[in-house]
Amino acid sequence: MISDFHEAMGQAWNYKVVLEEIEPNRVLYLAVPEDVYEDFFTRRLAKISVGRMQLNLLVFNPIREEIIIWT
């Protein structure tokens, strides 16, 4: 799970950098399934990392096809 987190954060960082250059008014969200959010993104490392990157999260339930949290 930690390697998936590293990969997602790295990709999000790259998208964030490029988006700030070409469309600075657009808001980037990292979409995270609800179970992954509850299992991992509530941990201290994930919270600190997301906060320092100033990354917005969109937490969704893939079964109900419903957005749970926009941050």
Report pLDDT for 54.
93
The torsion region of residue 55 among left (phi > 0), alpha (psi -120 to 50) and beta comes to beta
What pLDDT band is residue 1 in, cutting at 50, 70 and 90?
confident
Its pTM stands at: 0.83
Residue 2: the pLDDT is: 84
> 9-59: per-residue pLDDT in tens?
999 999 999 999 999 999 999 999 999 999 999 999 999 999 999 999 999
Number of domains in the chain: 1
Residue 7 belongs to what domain range? 2-70
Give the 3-state DSSP-derived string for 4-63, with helices as H, strands as E and coil as C. Answer: HHHHHHHHHHHHHHHHHHHCCCCCCEEEEEHHHHHHHHCCHHHHHHHHHHCCEEEEEECC
CATH number at residue 36: 3.40.1350.10
Sequence-distant (6+) residues with CB within 8 A of 54 are: none
